[in-house]
Amino acid sequence: MSVLAITGGVGGAKLAVGLAHLLNPEQLVFLVNTGDDFCHLGLHISPDLDTLTYSLAGHACPTKGWGRRDETWSFLKTIQDLGGPAWFQLGDKDLALHIYRTQLLNEGGSLTAATKAITKALGVKHSLLPCSDDRIATVVDSDVGQLSFQHYFVKHQCRPRVNGIKYDGADRARLNSILDLATISIVVICPSNPYLSVDPILAVSEFRNFLRNPHVPVLAVSPIVQGRALKGPTTKIMTELGHTVNNKTIVRHYADILTGLIVDEGDAKDCETIKDLGIECIARNTVMRTIDDRVRLARETLEFGKALSR
Amino acid sequence: MSVLAITGGVGGAKLAVGLAHLLNPEQLVFLVNTGDDFCHLGLHISPDLDTLTYSLAGHACPTKGWGRRDETWSFLKTIQDLGGPAWFQLGDKDLALHIYRTQLLNEGGSLTAATKAITKALGVKHSLLPCSDDRIATVVDSDVGQLSFQHYFVKHQCRPRVNGIKYDGADRARLNSILDLATISIVVICPSNPYLSVDPILAVSEFRNFLRNPHVPVLAVSPIVQGRALKGPTTKIMTELGHTVNNKTIVRHYADILTGLIVDEGDAKDCETIKDLGIECIARNTVMRTIDDRVRLARETLEFGKALSR
């Protein structure tokens, strides 16, 4: 069995850590959203790859979910004093990663190669693959105009009303060439924001076509718990896009690719409705507060996947 | 009277601080070496401009002479952990300046404009002018081959034997266009390394020609004290280039432009010999340990300049 886990940043990284705890690097590969990537102060920043890297390396800040633990902030304070942009929080240690990656890219390396060098140096054993080495940029069409993802998410703190979301470049982007689709036996969609974190990956047509393959079960852990997302703008965006915030919306969103959905135990009542839509469904505790929660949910997810593979 | 002070980094910055204490921004302009500038980790670094900026802003590290006081080093430690280059000491606060300047340059601004924005933000009132907005690169021809300045100075810690020094680009470089030569009544060459810090500026032909103007006195504070330079590789380089380490060598080096030289009081005996060469000479305490030393020597330098202007 080889598991491919699709993930964005904070939410997805929790399940990713659990999966990495159970499966060795030959059994598990991560395909990571790059739609949030952007250039800031001349640096190539890949927020989701970094959150995954720090989470798997044990360097993630446990309170914020993003960035590094034991971070220092001299740079940010100083660039503010200089009159430079300080809206994007760049810690001194985090900055080293961005500068190093930018140098590797400027020397002609791919984002995949740069990610490999960085994760290796930080002791991450599993492969983190950017969904594509081509540029994919998530753009939010909002009531204040088109906003690049980080401008919407960080600078405007998700306040503008979302009318739509597009993934610039995704139609031409090639799937990460390192990923060997023939070896994948189960696909897990981690509980990341469907619109902002998962859809940029699914927008790569070669990958979306692969997921429609009926021989490889695709299961998702729902990011919705009792009518709302635990964190981030998922709830707000779903509402603004005209959807009801529930598991049925998640199932409809992934309708053409999904085999099974894991909902929170508090939403166990949804399982019957979802099964009626032709999607397998189980209810588990999906709120991952501790490392034990992450490993437990990862185990339950893999068991569900094995059952669906039969 | 308008004073133009030519300076490199650490040594020259000491006298620069003294001069800035005595003269207001309308009376004093600094013309700064850019031959040490280089690109590192994708960042445009201007070591001498930065040392001047930090010194005049009161942010300079008092023990090292370069870099910022109360600096933190999270970035450098982390980039080393990542396998990136850590030979050039970049503090977290210092890094903010390099990133901000690089962004301003990448947006199409000149080094002069970037320096102005940075010095203004840090409260520096005097103009720091890069000697040129065109690239000048000091290259050391050594027994291990041609080395860019920072590779010689920092990476190899001045260990290679110097056969010669050249200033790539200086023959085509235009003098800083902000500098109004018509307003200059005295030129002061601060006690920086003649070969590494002052010569790249003098290599700009328009400026060298101006200094040959007999109506504007050019005085230098000798970087030599009792047969050696106080710090840095001046002594070693002078010897390797076949020169005796004394004030006579300094006079010969600046022969075509110099009006007067200030030697250390311990070298008072040199004054007569230097006067015999047609150069005015006075002996003062040139060792600047305290701010009072810097202001005193600056005052003595300006008095000497006024006397020579008559």
DSSP 8-state secondary structure symbol assigned to residue A154: I
Å from A101 to nearest chain B CA?
10
Q: How far apart are CA B211 and CA B90, in angstroms?
A: 36
What region, left, alpha or beta, does residue A169 occupy, with left being phi > 0 and alpha being psi -120 to 50 degrees?
Answer: left
Q: What percent of chain B has pLDDT over 90?
A: 91
Point out the residue among B75, B95, B103 whose CB comes nearest to the CB of A42. B103
Residue B21 has pLDDT above 90, yes or no: yes
Chain A residue whose CA is closest to B79:
A96
Chain B residue whose CA is closest to A107:
B42
Provide the pLDDT confidence category of residue B211 given band limits of 50, 70 and 90: very high
The token pair at B17 is 């601080």
Rounded to whole angstroms, what are the CA distances from A40 to A43, A86, A88, A285, B75? 5, 10, 8, 38, 17
Strand partners, B147: B140
Interchain contact B75–A (C-beta under 8 A)? yes
Interchain contact B88–A (C-beta under 8 A)? no
* Residues B254-277, mean pLDDT to the nearest whole number: 96
Å from A129 to nearest chain B CA?
18
Q: How far apart are CA A228 and CA A131, in angstroms?
A: 27
**Contact between chains at B106 and A42 (C-beta distance less than 8 A):** yes
For A208-254, what is each residue's pLDDT tens digit? 999 998 889 999 999 999 988 877 788 999 999 999 999 999 999 99
Mean pLDDT of chain B: 95
Residue A1 has pLDDT above 60, yes or no: no
Identify the pLDDT of residue B233: 86
B75 neighbourhood in chain A, CB within 8 Å: 75, 92-93, 95-96, 99
- Using a 10 angstrom Cβ sphere, with 0-12 exposed, 13-18 middle and 19 or more buried, the burial of residue B259 is buried
Interchain contact A57–B (C-beta under 8 A)? no
Place of tokens 């810097």: B294
- Number of residues written out for chain A: 310
Identify the pLDDT of residue A214: 83
B97 neighbourhood in chain A, CB within 8 Å: 78, 82
Chain B residue whose CA is closest to A95:
B75
A76 neighbourhood in chain B, CB within 8 Å: 96
Identify the pLDDT of residue A10: 86
Q: How far apart are CA B136 and CA A18, in angstroms?
A: 54
Q: Are strands B186-189 and B3-7 parallel, antiparallel or unpaired?
A: parallel
Point out the residue among B42, B97, B100 whose CB comes nearest to the CB of A102. B42
Interchain contact B157–A (C-beta under 8 A)? no
For B293-308, what is each residue's pLDDT tens digit? 999 999 999 999 999 9
- Using a 10 angstrom Cβ sphere, with 0-12 exposed, 13-18 middle and 19 or more buried, the burial of residue B135 is middle
Q: Give φ, ψ of A202 to 5 degrees.
A: -70, -20
Rounded to whole angstroms, what are the CA distances from B11 to B52, B151, B191, B192, B197? 10, 20, 6, 5, 10
Asked if A88 and B103 touch (Cβ cutoff 8 Å), the reply is: no
B93 neighbourhood in chain A, CB within 8 Å: 74-75, 77-78
Q: How far apart are CA B97 and CA B44, in angstroms?
A: 10
* Residues B197-219, mean pLDDT to the nearest whole number: 94
CA A232 to chain centre: 12
Nearest CA to A170 out of A138, A140, A198 is that of: A138
- Number of residues written out for chain B: 310
* Residues B62-89, mean pLDDT to the nearest whole number: 93
Identify the pLDDT of residue A255: 92
Q: What percent of chain A has pLDDT over 70?
A: 100
* Residues B175-203, mean pLDDT to the nearest whole number: 96
Chain A residue whose CA is closest to B81:
A121
SS3 label, residue B258: coil
Angle at Cα A275 formed by Cα A273 and Cα A280, nearest 5°? Answer: 140
DSSP 8-state secondary structure symbol assigned to residue A176: P
Asked if A250 and A222 touch (Cβ cutoff 8 Å), the reply is: yes
Q: What percent of chain A has pLDDT over 90?
A: 91
Identify the pLDDT of residue A66: 85
* Residues A130-159, mean pLDDT to the nearest whole number: 94
Spell out where A97-194 has E strands: 127-130, 137-142, 145-148, 162-168, 186-189
The token pair at B229 is 């330079």
Provide the pLDDT confidence category of residue B243 given band limits of 50, 70 and 90: very high
Interchain contact A89–B (C-beta under 8 A)? no
**Contact between chains at A72 and B72 (C-beta distance less than 8 A):** yes
Q: How far apart are CA B200 and CA B8, in angstroms?
A: 10
* Residues B217-234, mean pLDDT to the nearest whole number: 90
Handedness of CA B280, B186, B65, B32 (dihedral sign): negative
Provide the pLDDT confidence category of residue B62 given band limits of 50, 70 and 90: confident
Put simply, the chain A residues between 164 and 223 with a CB less than 8 A from any chain B CB are none
Q: How far apart are CA B201 and CA B36, in angstroms?
A: 11
Q: How far apart are CA B55 and CA A33, in angstroms?
A: 45
Q: Which of B59, B61, B92 to mutate to test the interface with A (most CBs of A within 10 A)?
A: B92
Maximum alpha-carbon separation in chain B: 61
Rounded to whole angstroms, what are the CA distances from B95 to A79, A143, A190, B74, B100? 9, 37, 36, 11, 8
Interchain contact A287–B (C-beta under 8 A)? no
Point out the residue among A75, A100, A118 whose CB comes nearest to the CB of B95. A75
Point out the residue among B83, B91, B97 whose CB comes nearest to the CB of A121. B83
Q: How far apart are CA A157 and CA A142, in angstroms?
A: 13
Nearest CA to A95 out of B177, B38, B15, B74 is that of: B74
Point out the residue among B71, B82, B100 whose CB comes nearest to the CB of A96. B82
Strand partners, A31: A6, A129
Identify the pLDDT of residue B1: 56
First to last CA, chain A: 12
Asked if A178 and A31 touch (Cβ cutoff 8 Å), the reply is: no
Q: How far apart are CA B227 and CA B171, in angstroms?
A: 32
CA B122 to chain centre: 20
Identify the pLDDT of residue A231: 77
Q: How far apart are CA B237 and CA B165, in angstroms?
A: 10
Mean pLDDT of chain A: 95
A114's CB contacts (< 8 A; 6+ apart) are A100, A101, A104, A105
Q: Are strands A218-221 and A260-264 parallel, antiparallel or unpaired?
A: parallel
Q: Give φ, ψ of B277 to 5 degrees.
A: -85, 0
Interchain contact B89–A (C-beta under 8 A)? no
* Residues A104-126, mean pLDDT to the nearest whole number: 97
Put simply, the chain A residues between 110 and 149 with a CB less than 8 A from any chain B CB are 117-118, 121-122
Interchain contact A277–B (C-beta under 8 A)? no
Q: How far apart are CA A54 and CA B296, in angstroms?
A: 54
**Contact between chains at A103 and B71 (C-beta distance less than 8 A):** no
Q: What percent of chain B has pLDDT over 70?
A: 100
Q: How far apart are CA B310 and CA B147, in angstroms?
A: 44
